Structure 1
Amino acid sequence: MTTRRNFLASLVAVTASPRLGWAAVGSPAYIAAAQLPDGVHVLVGLDLAGAETFRVPLPARGHAGAAHPAQAEAVVFARRPGYFALVIDAGTGRVLHELMPPKGHQFNGHGVYIDGGATLVTVEQMAEGSAGRIGLWDVASGYTRIDGFATHGIGPHDVRLMPDGRTLVVANGGIETDPTDRTKLNLDTMCPNLAYLGAGGDLLEKVELDQELAQNSIRHLAVASDGRVGFAMQWEGEPGMGWPLLGLHRRGERPVLAEAPLADELAMKGYAGSVAFSADESEIAITSPRGGRLNRFAPDGRFVAAEAREDVCGIAPHPDGFIASDGLGGLIALGCEGARPLARHECAWDNHIVPL
């Protein structure tokens, strides 16, 4: 049987050759992790029509990733709690680097390149207690760990770079988990927050929800060009409550909770898996694979429409508005006239579509 160690040994690249750009691998618009019918995990490049531009193997299930802005390489993070992240050459499928979190840390599934691709930012937590950490890695030196600082919350999951190119926004989920599995330990004392951090880790602003929403874990982020932040939540309290699962925030202001009609809110089953602004930023949408539902809102939080789609989760901007993926291999485009099919692949798409 092929072990993960053997897989990595066969794929690690030892080369000093110049890195290729994304045009060399078909100029993909997105990357997404998936599982094939035979159980093999892969990273796939997709164009705007939903066609595959490249496919490379992964040694285990990928959750989300980060695409380098210039070089045809991507970081794929293990499913939370994760102990490895792979830097993959999208042209050859070779593993260029395997990143390991510092002792006592765990990767939490997301990251982002900053400084024009010179630095990789990773979201982490301390294994004991789940205190949030940001990791900084220098790309040019082979992804050397260079720094780290607190996220000012526990159980962080997502991070994005703000339009000023300097500020990070972090989704601190507020959940303490068991170090060895995903068991949640503090559901009665949760305190999620949205934290804005400076380049050196200084806390610029922290946004917390009202106490009645303390069990609404802030999980995923989308950032508009004007600095608006959309945050998707997952309700950890009593089921069937119908609390809003999308929040909108602009720095210096109070957050706005985007409410759908009760039936559409209940259909989400308390779980928003991904969030994205549309390409023209006239809408923002959240998905629920548990509810088979996609809810769309205006940027001020007004409900626009709902779409039913079995096991839908991944979502990203698309010229039509949005592109969404599901666990049955489907890709759809969503615009003002509703959904239209783009493509169907023989795979099960994982939770996220990452735009390049």
Structure 2
Amino acid sequence: MTHRRGFLAGLLAAGLVPRSGWAEAGSPAYLSAARSAGGDYVLVGLSETLDEVFRLPMPSRGHAAAAHPARPQAVAFARRPGMFALVIDCRTGQVAHQLTAPGGRHFYGHGVFSPDGTRLFTTENDHENARGVVGVWDVAAGYARMAEFGSGGVGPHDIALLPDGETLVLANGGIETHPDSGRAKLNIPTMAPNLSYLDFNGNLLDLAEPDRPLRRNSIRHLSVRRDGQVAFAMQWQDDTHDGVPLGGLHRRGGALSLFRAETGLWRDMQGYAGSIAFSRAGDRVALTSPRGNLFATFDARSLNLLEILRRSDVCGVAEARSGFATTGGDGSVALTGQPVRQVPGLAFDNHLVRVREF
């Protein structure tokens, strides 16, 4: 194993590694946070065949990261409600800058760079006003905060860049939280999730909401296809969840389209979709549920269910050269069409992130 180089890569868990940083990271194909058998948090690099490249200790549980498109820098975010993020120089492993959430704000754990790398956009909570915010940070000025604008909703969790290079898509989960209440959800009866599309100045270009009976379906995670199609995963905020779809597709200008499956699938998922990913070809979408111990794939054109695989505590999913790669909370890893294997002494966290093209 590579320890120093692995550490540099591990700091980027749940985010993309710049091309110039791959060699320094031991050239992993995927990254995932995990917990060791001793209860410590670690970050793991996996090869294209899901063999372990490195394993390293973490001081605490992180969330996601964003990679600069040109510089070998990555921003690693603390888990919600996080008050800081670290800009890591991938060549040296040093902290180049520290971002601190302004007063009355906290990070949600996700961010994305503009295509030219001059700005960083972060999802944040204006917790005193129960309003989602996108923070804008000036990279050339040492990641100084330069502006902020509304996210188009409450509780923005994930954020992604569309292939046009000038549009942001946000998963506004609709759930109000406050640091004084930890991770408690404060507005379930009135929550209103949405997908919002914004330009870099914060102008709202489009907004799509679930139908009223599904307003307790918190939109949490995103995957963007190369043509701009957006896949979204949801988490149902109610004890009664029979028959409620937990994922779907959207294209700007249209309505949300939900995956189609028999009620039994959604019942088995217990109201919780953990991760979502398009296949490399873009013709299929994978949706995982660690609570339901299953991994489902859907046709990206018809939205119909294609297959259900039963796997213990499966949650992380990403595209593979053929099909999908998955990880589980029991330390399992699998590629489509191949047997499930175990990585000794690990329990993988929620997300598996592809860090390079195949």
Q: Secondary structure at the match of 1:310?
A: coil
The answer to whether the Cα contact below 8 Å between 2:259 and 2:305 also exists between their aligned partners in 1 is yes
Closer, same or farther in 2 for the Cα pair 1:142/1:46, shift >3 Å?
farther
Unaligned runs of 5+ in 2: 1-10, 12-18
Aligned to 1:275: 276
Q: What's the offset of the Cα at 1:299?
A: 0.7
Aligned to 1:322: 324
Q: Sequence identity of aligned pairs in percent?
A: 50
Aligned to 1:52: 52
The answer to whether the Cα contact below 8 Å between 1:218 and 1:233 also exists between their aligned partners in 2 is yes
Closer, same or farther in 2 for the Cα pair 1:95/1:41, shift >3 Å?
farther
CA distance in 2, matches of 1:224, 1:245: 19
**CA offsets 1:271-307 (integer angstroms, 9 cap, x no match):** 0111110111110111111111111101131111111
Aligned to 1:8: none
The answer to whether the Cα contact below 8 Å between 1:22 and 1:71 also exists between their aligned partners in 2 is no
Aligned to 1:191: 192
The answer to whether the Cα contact below 8 Å between 1:329 and 1:348 also exists between their aligned partners in 2 is yes
CA distance in 2, matches of 1:92, 1:330: 32
Q: Secondary structure at the match of 1:24?
A: helix
**CA offsets 1:22-55 (integer angstroms, 9 cap, x no match):** 2232222222222222333233332212233344
Q: How does 1:239-318 map to 2 (within 5 A)?
A: 239-300=240-301, 301-318=303-320
CA distance in 1, matches of 2:339, 2:95: 36
Q: What's the offset of the Cα at 1:132?
A: 0.6
Q: What's the offset of the Cα at 1:160?
A: 0.5
Closer, same or farther in 2 for the Cα pair 1:251/1:352, shift >3 Å?
same
CA distance in 2, matches of 1:34, 1:116: 32
CA distance in 2, matches of 1:201, 1:264: 38
Aligned to 1:29: 29
CA distance in 2, matches of 1:46, 1:70: 23
Closer, same or farther in 2 for the Cα pair 1:305/1:343, shift >3 Å?
same
Closer, same or farther in 2 for the Cα pair 1:155/1:77, shift >3 Å?
same
The answer to whether the Cα contact below 8 Å between 1:46 and 1:54 also exists between their aligned partners in 2 is yes
Aligned to 1:346: 345
Aligned to 1:4: none
Q: Residue type of the partner of 1:66?
A: A
CA distance in 2, matches of 1:95, 1:37: 28
Tell me how large the CA RMSD over aligned residues is.
Answer: 2.2
Closer, same or farther in 2 for the Cα pair 1:155/1:250, shift >3 Å?
same
Q: Residue type of the partner of 2:300?
A: P
Q: Secondary structure at the match of 2:179?
A: coil
The answer to whether the Cα contact below 8 Å between 1:247 and 1:257 also exists between their aligned partners in 2 is yes
CA distance in 2, matches of 1:309, 1:69: 35
Aligned to 1:6: none
